[in-house]
Structure 1
């Protein structure tokens, strides 16, 4: 989440006025972070927030870098009365290009925080940056359309994106025939899953890698509802989906290696401005993960998933301590074991998710 407080430390910040029950200025989030961990040198350049993650990304050289962008990129003042409204200035969106992001998922409960005009500006900015958006659009057709990437000879990655109402995404955010909006998923039912299966099978070739992104569930807690499990299993069973990319929780949740697919029930945030906020310390949302997926060059089989831990400090990603890496490894291992998946710490400091 690169809006609100994070936006304020970048060079071209938005108007800091916000419309929250407990805060009226985005600067308040910067002050909370500084009280917790010291002053942030402002303004920072576009690379600053990524910190140590940039070295990791440059070393890995991923064929495709996909993120859930949970903020509007806009100077729109048409805020919706919903409690929390995230935005970053269009000029600050250069930070997304600095990280080499290829695809921004917009199917979530914040991309319309600043109205339809804010969403349209977000789409325009991403297009100018050469970043493909998926999960929201200028109308229902574009909101439902997947993003397709050529990643090798006769190999494609297809990304579908949905925002479940269980994440707090309003049903009326759905795009219309002549209305910009989000690809809203109204229920996690068998019928809904099979509709997505039909959409996938109409487009998928045998060697395609399919990622289905779903913004679902609450922000806090490790519990995985059976409805999510059943829904994800159906996508893999019936459409050979490679990855179900779940998010909404502010901390990482269980991982399941299921048949030939991978289910991430909650990836947590990678960046946020929650530093210094108290009350949820037991979830350690300051500890975040980069999910590195590797695919065999000759097939769509997923051989393994590595997770690279980072910590948010002064709105920047840094390397965590060994104790913190052990904490997140043990937590993910505990939550993933009921799903037949182990999360182990490697000598490199990365985590490896494997079937039991």
Structure 2
């Protein structure tokens, strides 16, 4: 973590809105959005954070990624600051989760920092402007310089019986703008959503989305709370349907790994992310890699707060990784140091 971020930026962000984490999130996005519109500002930012070392690019499910380090869904749901993310060193970005219908999400407060645990609890509830609004925004962008993923979910008011059409509506609207599509059936913050991970529901949903995607890769984002047998059943469906990859993992409803000083927050409902997910995400990635013989690409996400955390996911079998909570605690320097570490390890591998 850079000294400037630790001593100057982070304390200011943590005080915004009397410590309301969501206000800090909104202000960060607002600042990056404004920066994206200032002539010359993005290149200046890119000169500090965005220069990628040689040897970190890779091609996964038919797409070339300038770096395997991406921004996870949830940070920029409505795609308001897309030019700035590449300037911060990200090799790809996933917008959303977006739903067919615009929705405000759950009641506030709904985002909580657990500082001593380097974790976050959120119960945002897919707050977003809807897939139609996102399509209009994405249409206004030119070439972003990186693959854009779109995470799609179910509108809260849509019954599970109508979930397939809800997802398909969003994919249809956004098909021209997403380079890949992530099917979010694992958020704990939409009632009943995780039932869509069951084999019967999942097969119907993925079959419809695969048919609608017309050549665009479709991935499935899974929960870290599934048993190995449930993961194996899910993987069987994904293989049968021809899904391009797995994103492992979403947030957890578990509360293990919290510092004693943060345990009073454990009663807050929502998904837990950050340091407590480091081990479970790596184990899940390793299980998927072994179960599929490495044939199904994996985006590893959860608990990356140091470059070593990213390397652990790559060693477990991930092809790409995503950050979110790590940015809150380490700042944009985490992206830069992770890219440099990957390049260094790649060179060491070539020399050995």
The TM-score, its normalising length taken from structure 2, stands at: 0.47
The TM-score, its normalising length taken from structure 1, stands at: 0.46
Structure richer in strand, relative to its length: 1
Greater relative CO (CA pairs within 8 A, separation 6+): 2
